[in-house]
Amino acid sequence: MKRTIIDLLNDAVDQYASKAFLLEKQKDEWTSLSYREVQNQSLQVGAGLHQLGVKPGDRVALLSEGRNDWIISELGILYAGAASVPLSIKLEESNDLLFRLNHAEVNTIIVSQTQLPKIRSIIDQLPLVNSVVVLETLYDPEDAVVLDSAKKEIGMNELKGKGEAFLKDHHQEFLKIGEALENDDIATITYTSGTTADPKGVVLTHRNYTANVEQALSAITIPPHWRTLIILPLDHCFAHVAGFYSIMACGASFATVQVGKTGVETLRNIPINIKEVRPHFLLSVPALAKNFRKNIESSIKAKGKTTERLFNFAMKCAYAYNKDGYTKGKGFSILLKPLVKLFDKILFSKIREAFGGEMKFFIGGGALLDIELQRFFYAIGIPMYQGYGLSEATPVISTNCERKHRMGSSGILVSPMDLKIMDEDGNELPLGEKGEIVIRGENVMAGYWRNEKSTAETVKDGWLYTGDLGYFTKEGFLYVLGRFKSLLISNDGEKYSPEGFEEALVEQSDLIEQTLLYNDQNPYTIALIVPNLPTLKQKVQHAHKGLDPNSTEFADAAIQLIKEEIDKYKDKGVYGGMFPERWLPSTFVLIGEPFSEKNGLVNSTMKVIRGKVEERYKDLIELAYALNEKEALNIHNRNVILS
């Protein structure tokens, strides 16, 4: 059956034409657009792009903060038969943006005024780009930039005007472009970091999206009167599926955080907007969840010792009653039910008012969520249902939900979907055994854009090899344990494979024998480094003649040389821009012996066994984070140099 995103929108308009779909705050006032209004404006954008020369199959980039025109622009791109290339506003222009725009062969860019300077700085290096559509300012009109026609710039209002004029005489003709789309046509190319310096473009089709919406809604129910406020970037497919496309399918309402003049100002608007929108659910990642908890606990503490003691006692009772969620109220814990209900009425309900008073649950995506965080939010009456997915799966694979959940797990599989747990030799493992998570379904990506090799390695006979380690239980819960191979996971849920940097560092430096990067939901990455001690000491002696080789000063000079090798890959370094700076190690610990077959840290093909290295040196990893990201000059590292 044909089921494109355009079909999804058209069906939603047929059912919910006059109902509020998109909510947005400009200055001090919230405004809404109905489903019909969103469709009309999307058609104007699509027709305007058509007038600019965008043809079916072309790629159009989107670089903006979350706002109504972000979603309207993407729908307009799809109405024009083109594919959207959504880009993170965190990207820097020098390499990150430039690579993606050229690699995706983008011919049109839609950009917010805040992000426009990035595009202007590289426009001369984008020979395929014919037009830059600039979104109007959401705050003071006096802050509006003057568009530069020499740089191919046109305002969004002007684009919509062009589209509206075209549709007057060619409405049915233009509609045929969207109607001609098939399930396998590309909807988005979403870039994610790959195993080398170059990111990979995940190709997601129209059916990938509509199938994953159907799968997600097999677990989560969204009534038409519900609202959500999206506090995550719209460029990721998690926001697409679990956010606006699922909302669209259910006739509910979708609000974006009020855009500030700076990123910090936008962040400050989040708690204000939550109270104003009064969402029924929120999408979250671990970093946001931790901030919410910190704010709640600070607020309780500010009310005095008595309130704090009462809160702590109430939490203990709720923890004991809730258990892991799946066994809530079982056994003797049922005796706590009246007390928990009392605390919910007199205490937890007041806390929920900070979230608008309507919140039913969070949906947690990205990295693995600390079970303690899950217990905390479950206790206050806003469960944080952890899910699991990745861009290559559009992204939802599993989720906890109201009807079935267990804290600590990644929930139940969405339906329909097939799952296998595989060992390193490609053999399927029985229930309960740990291995690589492999899935099959209509949500599996079409492949990586212009990267047949990586596609063949990741999708085999329709099965997606996720690269993540986990196991499946007889109760139907999926547990995700970390990386099956080598992926780093930051505290905001983003994943990155470190092999490219590790190989480059060893190849380009005569001071470093081996290295392994580590990040498991932490604010920054660290490195375990096996130094080439003879060469390192020789260089220190050459640079600091007369320095006692057994002194602290000698060790510190050697540690500084290692640091300088890493700094070469940072901004303005000799290799600056080769790798995303956020994934470069902020600090490192030195290892006194090589990773080898003898000590079991290297396999027969001479590849480092990450899990064993991390287990062997977990105390050093903890030390690196216990100090801080700048304390490479520590006793442990000095002892390795002086040994």
pLDDT single digits (tens) 213-260: 999 999 999 999 999 999 999 998 999 999 999 999 999 999 999 999
465 and 562: one domain?
no
In a domain, 392, yes or no: yes
77-106 pLDDT, tens digit each: 999 999 999 999 988 877 789 999 999 999
Q: Which residues of the chain have pLDDT under 50?
A: 194-197, 604
Q: Which residue has the tokens 């090798």?
A: 565
Direct distance between the N- and C-terminal alpha carbons of the chain, in angstroms, rounded to an integer: 69
- Beta carbons of 121 and 115 less than 8 angstroms apart: no
Say if residue 476 is in the same domain as residue 605: no
Q: How far apart are CA 102 and CA 86, in angstroms?
A: 14
Whether residues 235 and 128 fall in one domain: yes
Same structural domain for residues 638 and 533?
yes
- Asked if 412 and 476 touch (Cβ cutoff 8 Å), the reply is yes
Residues 479 and 531 in one domain: no
In a domain, 470, yes or no: yes
In a domain, 188, yes or no: no
pLDDT of residue 361: 97
Looking only at the bridges linking them, the beta strands covering 412-413 and 396-399 are antiparallel
Write out the two tokens for 307: 């309130």
Of the residues 484, 511, 541, the one at which a domain ends: 484
Residue 401, number of CB atoms within 10 A of its CB: 20
Whether 492 maps to a domain, the answer reads: no
The verdict on 25 and 83 lying in the same domain is yes
| Number of domains forming the structure of the chain | 3
The pTM of this model reads 0.81
How high is the pLDDT of residue 194? Answer: 43
- Residues of the domain holding 547: 498-642
pLDDT value, residue 261: 86
Indicate whether 536 and 399 sit together in one domain.
Answer: no
Type of residue at 231: I
Same domain (yes/no): 610, 580: yes
Are 461 and 541 in a shared domain?
Answer: no
Domain final position from 484, 516, 537: 484
Please check whether residue 157 is in contact with residue 36, taking contact to mean a CB–CB distance below 8 angstroms. no
Residue 262 maps to a domain: yes
> Does residue 518 sit in the same domain as residue 578?
yes
> Within 13 Å and on the Cβ side, how many CA atoms surround 271?
14
Burial 59-79 (b: 16+ CB within 10 A, else e): bbbbbbbbbbbbbbbbbbbbb
Amino acid at 98: L
Q: 209 in a domain, yes or no?
A: no
User: Does residue 387 sit in the same domain as residue 523?
Assistant: no
Of 248, 272, 296, at which residue does a domain stop? Answer: 272
In this structure, is residue 336 part of a structural domain? yes
**207 is a domain residue:** no
Determine whether 514 is exposed, middle or buried from the number of CB atoms within 10 Å of its CB (0-12, 13-18, 19+). buried
**CATH number of the structural domain spanning residue 154:** 3.40.50.12780
Q: What is the pLDDT of residue 574?
A: 87
